[in-house]
Amino acid sequence: MLCVTAYTQTIKTVKILNPAGVKYIESMDASEPSRLISECIAGNQAAIEKLVRQYEADVFKLALSILGDEADANEITQETFIAALKSLRTYQEKKAFKAWLFTIALNLSRSHLRKQKFIERLKATVGVVLRIEHQKQSTPEDEAIRTEKEAVIWNELNKLDERHRIVAVLRYFHELPISEIAQVLSVNEGTIHSRLHTVRERLRDALQHVHGE
């Protein structure tokens, strides 16, 4: 197993500089995470880089959705993979690997907020994520897609408290199933359903107000 210093050096070699601009590589099949994990534990640097590349954009955007700052999100992304690689032997496959990784990223992001007292950054979180998504669009036609309804939805999400916003981001932005969101947040599925119901009601009310329905 690689030592802590080697893990850190490997992550720096991969150079997670701007995960927001990373194009998604082809999704791994169901067996590949297990195979890559075994190779990472054995110290295979190519496997480590492949694992990082597969999940770095998702981890970055999750951190960004909590921190609201690209530099901080980039730092947490690196810390997440370093922590994950050091703890791979403790990973149990009864939890989806992505959910396990998101749990680490979520805990590190929250800890960063507490240490740095950057709670106010949550106010602009979703707006920052949306801006980065639009920057990635390649044509003027794509750039013009933001409709009044979309603006209302993102504005309303931006007003949510952290516990509801994180659920909304994981469900609608990362498209995680309810079961994995429950794993990431360490709450039961009923609580996730309840929070999503609250989010949907808020969005419905906002849209009705805009359109005078």
pLDDT of res. 127? 56
End-to-end C-alpha distance for the chain, whole angstroms: 61
CATH of the domain at 23: 1.10.1740.10
d(CA 151, CA 45): 43
d(CA 148, CA 166): 23
Q: Is residue 195 part of a domain?
A: no
Residue written as tokens 């998101």? 102
- Residue 100: pLDDT band (50, 70, 90) is very high
Please write the tens of the pLDDT for every residue from 187-200: 999 999 999 999 88
Q: Is residue 62 part of a domain?
A: yes
Both structure tokens of 4? 């802590």
Both structure tokens of 145? 């897609």
Q: Is residue 36 part of a domain?
A: yes
pLDDT of res. 173? 77
User: Between the ranges 19-23, 114-118, 206-210, where is the mean pLDDT highest?
Assistant: 206-210
Q: Is residue 141 part of a domain?
A: no
Both structure tokens of 203? 């969005």
Q: Is residue 20 part of a domain?
A: yes
pLDDT of res. 12? 53
Q: Domain count for the chain, please give it.
A: 1
pLDDT of res. 197? 93
User: Residue 104 is part of which domain span?
Assistant: 1-117
* 160 secondary structure, DSSP code: S
Both structure tokens of 13? 């070699």
pLDDT of res. 78? 94
pLDDT greater than 50 at residue 29: no
d(CA 93, CA 87): 13
d(CA 56, CA 19): 6
Q: Is residue 122 part of a domain?
A: no
pLDDT greater than 50 at residue 28: no
The answer to whether the CB of 70 falls within 8 A of the CB of 16 is no
d(CA 68, CA 96): 26
Q: What helix, strand, coil percent values describe the chain, rounded to 5?
A: 75, 0, 25
d(CA 148, CA 91): 44
Q: Which of 99, 6, 112 is nearest to 64 (CA)?
A: 112
Q: Is residue 194 part of a domain?
A: no
pLDDT of res. 132? 59
| Average predicted confidence (pLDDT) for the chain | 75
Residue 115: half-sphere exposure toward Cβ, Cα within 13 Å = 8
- Residue 10: pLDDT band (50, 70, 90) is low
Rounded mean pLDDT of 84-108?
Answer: 88
User: Helices 97-116 and 45-67: crossing angle, nearest 10°?
Assistant: 50
Please give the model's pTM, rounded to 2 decimal places: 0.60
Q: Is residue 183 part of a domain?
A: no
pLDDT greater than 90 at residue 157: no
d(CA 166, CA 172): 10
pLDDT greater than 80 at residue 93: no
From residue 24, give the alpha-carbon distance in Å to each of 20, 21, 52, 113, 178: 10, 9, 11, 28, 23
Pick the residue with more confidence: 36 or 145? Answer: 36
